Amino acid sequence: MLEAIPKITLWDVIDILIVAFLIYRIFVYLSETRAIQILIGLLVLLMFSVIAKFFHFYTLSFIFNNLITIGIFALIVIFQPEIRRILARIGEKQFGIFTTEEEAEKVIEEIVRASASMSEDRIGALIVVERDIKLDNYIEAGTLINGAVSKELLITIFWPGTPLHDGATIIRKDKIYKAGAFLPLSLNPHLPQTVGTRHRAAIGITEETDAIAVVISEETGAVSISYAGKLIKNLDPPKLKKVLKGLLVKKAKEKKNFVDYFKRRNEESF
């Protein structure tokens, strides 16, 4: 009798613990999202399907099985932004969008200076820094600018009443690429009612892509930053600079090392 039970090794225990931990993490993650109801629905269907099979109700079992398949597709559709972001992160290039650390710091400096000034003057703004995922699908309607990033140009774009002040301005590398772009609004049901459309647009684009969005509230002058669907509010200029540096410069540094390494290798080999 005991021989029928396979021997459990230490590796099996580790294997089971890892799987248990992953299931636990996925469940905790799902419990905070809208997918949990669908997941519970799927589990109930699965239970019915097993019961139907047990009592040989083949038609019922057939229907439940098909509903489970539809439910799995529904989960994929609902989780499409999250799946896209996770896959993009797995395949993320190691080297960021800027060519050098100096280039990244210059862009950050201009964004911080423009944000501080617009915050003081209560000028509403939404500045999105594109990273590895191209934003072209979202910004087709925007107006092409292609000008160097500067505090002056940013303030001019968002100056109330001007044609481009509505919508988002997109920064691609060291250029203001487009202005007046309309972004997808976040559908996160947990966002408080008080979060307006400008902030929802900032959260929306960072939920779907790896972009970073800086928002200045017209109402309060508060400067916020959104990344990966999260919003950090009320940043003073030094804090904004620190967060932007953390998100952008580290990558530029890695790229600089990479470029230097390749230069050295080229010099050595020629």
Ligand X SMILES: Nc1ncnc2c1ncn2[C@@H]1O[C@H](COP(=O)(O)OP(=O)(O)OP(=O)(O)O)[C@@H](O)[C@H]1O
Nearest distance from residue 218's CB to ligand X, in Å? 3
Nearest distance from residue 133's CB to ligand X, in Å? 17
Q: How many CA atoms lie within 13 A of 227 on its CB side?
A: 12
Nearest distance from residue 201's CB to ligand X, in Å? 3
Task: Report yes or no: 42 and 68 within 8 Å, Cβ to Cβ.
Answer: yes
Backbone angles phi, psi at 99, to 5 degrees: -75, -40
**79 Cβ contact list (under 8 Å, min separation 6):** 35
For residues 251 and 259, give the distance between their C-alpha atoms in angstroms, rounded to a whole number.
12
For residues 187 and 112, give the distance between their C-alpha atoms in angstroms, rounded to a whole number.
28
Nearest distance from residue 16's CB to ligand X, in Å? 46
Nearest distance from residue 162's CB to ligand X, in Å? 11
Task: Report yes or no: 195 and 153 within 8 Å, Cβ to Cβ.
Answer: no
> Which structure tokens are listed for 23?
């299931």
- Residue 199 or 255 with smaller CB distance to ligand X: 199
- Residue 49 or 217 with smaller CB distance to ligand X: 217
- Residue 198 or 255 with smaller CB distance to ligand X: 198
Q: What strands, in cross-sheet order, belong to the sheet with 230-232?
A: 143-148, 175-181, 168-172, 125-129, 212-216, 223-227, 230-232
- Residue 42 or 135 with smaller CB distance to ligand X: 135
- Residue 56 or 190 with smaller CB distance to ligand X: 190
Backbone angles phi, psi at 40, to 5 degrees: -60, -45
Please give the helix or strand (H or E) that residue 212 lies within, else none: strand 212-216
Nearest distance from residue 215's CB to ligand X, in Å? 7
Indicate the SS3 state at residue 125.
strand
- Residue 155 or 185 with smaller CB distance to ligand X: 185
Nearest distance from residue 221's CB to ligand X, in Å? 9
Chain residues binding ligand X by CB under 6 A are 124, 126, 166-168, 182-183, 185, 196-199, 201, 217-219
Q: Which residue is nearest to ligand X (CB)?
A: 196
Residue reference for tokens 């459990």: 8
> What does the angle CA 114 – CA 120 – CA 126 come to, to the nearest 5 degrees?
50
- Residue 99 or 117 with smaller CB distance to ligand X: 117
